[in-house]
Amino acid sequence: MAGFVQAIVICPMEHVKCRLQIQHGRGAADFRYHGPMDAVRQIVRGYGLQGLYRGWWVTAWREVPAFGLYFATYDTIKANINRHLTTTEESLGESDDFNHVHRWAASAMAGGISGCTTWALIYPLDVIKTRIQTSSLDRKFSMVTVGKDLVAKHGWRILFRGLGVTLVRAFPVNGIIFPVYEFSLQQMTQSQYF
């Protein structure tokens, strides 16, 4: 459910972002949009709200399973890391301070690994989504047609172009998200205001 709701929010944002990323600077033949709000206005004016949601289905296919996979792998990996660290801690007779530190480390590692795992598995859908969102607004493309066309023209590796840099970004970003979330939650539950 969370992935579906996220897809509703991010689909138009990513569509506009992709359009802005592929256009060249002022004076270039393909320069069309003077920023995100101008892109939204032009797309909606020319193609309606449906035009803004170009790539909706592939975005939903990417986001819905990604959320389930992301949280399931996070929980599993974090539990395994904590179990390993607890066993090590007990055998070394470490203090509670060590336990506190290893919980944050386990959360960071699990977040980074789960983020990378999720991106590695859904990345082909992201490549297809980007192709759909950057193609001509005057033509309609299906996810399957675009995927088959990409593989036929460029081979299956095209579906993973750019994955390396995505994983380099994904590990620290996702490694930060969960410890910060858990720390914030801990602070709010200990606060007199919540």
Contact assessment for residue 69 and residue 121, using Cβ atoms and an 8 Å cutoff: yes
Q: Report the pLDDT value the prediction gives residue 187, as an integer from 0 to 100.
A: 84
Q: pLDDT below 70 — which residues of the chain?
A: 88-100, 192-194
| pTM, to two decimals | 0.84
Distances (CA, A) of 48 to 41, 45, 94: 9, 6, 62
Measured in whole angstroms, the distance separating CA 154 from the mean position of its chain's CA atoms is 24
Distances (CA, A) of 134 to 18, 20, 58, 146, 162: 6, 9, 13, 12, 16
Q: Report the pLDDT value the prediction gives residue 1, as an integer from 0 to 100.
A: 77
In whole angstroms, how large is the CA radius of gyration of the chain?
21
> Three-state DSSP class for 139?
coil
Q: How far apart are CA 138 and CA 47, in angstroms?
A: 9
pLDDT > 90 in the chain, percent: 70
Q: Report the pLDDT value the prediction gives residue 29, as an integer from 0 to 100.
A: 80
The two three-digit tokens of residue 10, written as one number: 């991010």
Q: How far apart are CA 41 and CA 35, in angstroms?
A: 10
How confident is the model over 37-78, as pLDDT tens digits? Answer: 999 999 999 999 999 999 999 999 999 999 999 999 999 999
Contact assessment for residue 55 and residue 126, using Cβ atoms and an 8 Å cutoff: no
CB atoms within 10 A of CB 100: 10
Q: Report the pLDDT value the prediction gives residue 95, as an integer from 0 to 100.
A: 55
Q: How many CA atoms lie within 13 A of 121 on its CB side?
A: 17
Contact assessment for residue 157 and residue 95, using Cβ atoms and an 8 Å cutoff: no
